[in-house]
Structure 1
């Protein structure tokens, strides 16, 4: 199943591309007109996403994986608005944002997110952001304002604990149409803020596969194992490309604004080999090599799976170091010291004869460093009968000792 890996991971990257100029759909086609800085931001996001995908593949034992570069980038962009000094510079480097100012980044994301959600009336594409923080924790209003204004983030203070975990997971389930139901299991006593991004995509193929045409067929894994799997089949006019490394098609959704690129490695080359060739230079070159071809017979498996990745160590490898230490500078979020303790990314995808349903969630958890990296707080709740004693310090003499089974209190 590894051969599917690259196919899936590129779906949401492709959402950042403009529509196919040769689309014959009768629907009105909207285009995204990019200014120079917005085009530079997309180039940065794609470069970041391809490298992130490569590094996840290098470290993951899962046969099937998928990430949403857009989801990770948007969540990190919200956090970036609270960073300063070396922490901010390292985030810029890891996210490939060098050369763009904070205002340019925010303005470009605002334009891009608005445009992506209104491109095709036949495709559901939803982006949501949220910030939940510990009730009473001092957060700079300017940080909340920029994320509410630019990223349309929902903001709410909560008493962090089991109820807050449920609230956060309920938000995730709602925004992903129940395709991802949980992003965090618990919150550390030192947790102070959770930044969230959720993306949901549902698109029907411009020309659907005929369910009656789905037949069992052979599928050979990278290790040579042969499986019999349901293979969808159809003949269509499609964008097609082939070279010494792979053959590829573009399967359009709706009016063609969104599309899935399916890349079949050449004989003697694995999907893992192909992932190793991913770079922005190669990606741009490959994108220029497609041309429309008639009567392409497409046979491919339908598939559905979920994937989860913890991104802290990978982001460190990409140059984002201080953000995850007690030396982090997120002084634009709060006057109290914060660092990122977790970056969690979960995805879901279902590809079948009708189309594709996909979802992604990225959660960034901030913890406080106000008392340094010392022991965790211990919560002591006396909620059952107890024994007490009054003693003298120097002699340790017990002055009083007692038990309380019914703590009555009368005025």
Structure 2
């Protein structure tokens, strides 16, 4: 393991402890009555949202209903990035972010199983995760913010010149992400995303590589794409029993990866295949993003003998700017003179100017390689029991997720409408 990779291991704790950091080093003691009336209203209106999944639903449905493109997102990467921002936010700005994260307080978020998983990702053979903070050299991160990040998370903080060397700073962030994702994500920050008014950039990177517990054979099979056309695509096949279950309107397939012997985490891919002309991908996104335990409850629990079996190989990348979807889900203050006094000293009018997410995934007969990154720019305001043969022929658009079994944390979520699209 290289010196860089060892350093990256320390970064994972950053997400898990931001919540405690924010509580310990708040600018003022908590109000005797807790949250203000305005903050309580925000929590009431937004609580229950699972940030990454809610945003995945917004962007995924748009991708499926619009140009009919393939789609992938990392709810875990987005969750970690927004939690980092929430740790440096204060007042209603923080409360709105917590509402999007599905928690009423930083302490509650800190106790979530997803946070505990983030702290273990760099100890697993399949995954790596890193985060960093870049601040303009004319500004200063709060000493408590830096100290807590370094001592509890091993977070990297770097001073750059956004005013005179914005393009060089953008490239440094992108190089950090590219290194962690083994060059799969090269440009999470697009040209023009940072400029002279940028004060802080926060970014993380997630890498996943998992081999199937049972490798597959490959053959060419038809796949029906929206509009009535059919294309021949390289597909995986098997005659071995698989985890398959039938539900009203769709069927589910669980494809386990080879996992750690000590079972610190167990990963699998879940594929949800709508019955022809019965359910839409939008319906499945609604359920997966808004219904607690949906993915866990619809993960097949036992193997059944298979008849026909086909899952296409696919490889593609998806990127989008997240701000508009965040605003739809109730986060507005952070984009308009937000309160980030827990992060940067001496700057009263900071706002999020861009939230950039990029993810890539490749699935073949051997397993899955996936990576994702999220960068946030902050600047000055300007069930089946049958033992009969069961088919699973994914020859039409389907939804997929890469899930950690113990915590039900979704690392990647997306859909395939045409395996030939890159």
Report the TM range for the smaller structure's normalisation.
0.7 to 0.9
CA RMSD, 1 decimal: 2.2
Of 80, 83, 91, the match for 1:85: 91
Query: Among residues 343, 346, 349, which one is paired with 1:333 in the alignment?
Result: 343
Equivalent-residue separation in structure 1 for 2:320 and 2:295 (angstroms)? 29
Q: Equivalent residue for 2:150?
A: 148
User: Relative to structure 1, is the Cα distance of residues 295 and 117 closer, same or farther in structure 2, using a 3 angstrom cutoff?
Assistant: farther
Cross-structure match for 2:317: 306
Normalising by structure 1, what TM-score? 0.72
Q: Is the 8 A contact 2:133 2:203 kept in 1?
A: yes
In the comparison of the two structures, how many residue pairs are matched? 318
Q: 2:271 matched to which residue of 1?
A: 262
1:216–1:229 CA contact under 8 A, matched in 2: yes
Change (3 A) 1:152 1:239: farther
Task: Map 1:92-171; keep pairs closer than 5 Å.
Answer: 92-98=98-104, 101-106=105-110, 108=112, 111-119=116-124, 121=125, 124-160=126-162, 161-171=166-176
Name the structure 1 match of 2:54.
51
Pairs within 5 Å for 1:15-94: 47-60=50-63, 61-62=66-67, 63-94=69-100
Residue 287 of structure 1 aligns with which residue?
A: 297
Match in the other structure for 1:316: 327
Look up the SS of the partner of 2:185 in the other structure: coil
Cα distance in 2 for partners of 1:225, 1:132 equals 48
| Contact 2:137–2:159 (CA under 8 A) maintained in structure 1 | yes
SS at match of 2:310: strand
Q: Distance in 2 between matches of 1:174 and 1:72?
A: 19
Question: Which of 201, 204, 211 is the aligned partner of 1:204?
Answer: 211
3-state SS, counterpart of residue 77 of structure 2? helix
Cα distance per residue 1:386-406 (max 9 Å; x no partner):
xxxxxxxxxxxxxxxxxxxxx
1:348 aligns with one of 342, 360, 366: 360
3-state DSSP class of the match of 1:291? coil
Unaligned residue ranges in structure 1 (runs of 5+): 1-43, 374-411
Change (3 A) 1:111 1:194: same
Aligned partner of 2:17 in structure 1 is none
User: What's the secondary structure of 1:242's corresponding residue?
Assistant: strand
Q: What CA distance in whole angstroms lies between the structure 1 residues aligned with 2:299 and 2:374?
A: 33
Query: What SS does the aligned partner of 1:81 have?
Result: helix
Quote how far apart the aligned CAs of 1:158 are. Answer: 1.1
Indicate the SS of the match to 2:73. coil
Q: Distance in 2 between matches of 1:248 and 1:183?
A: 32
Q: Does 1:181 align with 2:193?
A: no
Task: Tell me how far apart the structure 2 counterparts of residues 193 and 87 of structure 1 sit (CA, whole Å).
Answer: 16
CA distance in 2, matches of 1:221, 1:284: 26
Q: In terms of Rg, which structure is larger?
A: 1
Distance 1:238 1:46, change over 3 A: farther
What is the Cα deviation at residue 271 of structure 1?
A: 2.5
Query: Contact between 2:49 and 2:102, CA under 8 Å: does it hold in 1?
Result: no
Question: In the alignment, is residue 246 of structure 1 matched against residue 250 of structure 2?
Answer: yes
Deviation at 1:288, TM superposition (A): 5.5
CA offsets per residue over residues 323-374 of structure 1, 9 Å max, x none? 0012x111111220311100000000010111100000000001024xxx3x
The alignment status of 1:224 with 2:228, answered yes or no, reads yes
1:67 Cα deviation from its structure 2 partner: 0.7
Bigger mean CA deviation after superposition, 226-235 or 69-78: 226-235
Q: What is the aligned partner in structure 2 of residue 193 from structure 1?
A: 200
Deviation string 1:86-106 (CA, Å, 9 cap, x unpaired) is: 1111111122112xx324434
Shift of 1:279: 4.3
Hey, what does 1:274 align to over in structure 2? 284
Structure 2, unmatched stretches of 5+, are: 1-46, 261-265, 383-422
TM-score normalized with structure 2 length: 0.70
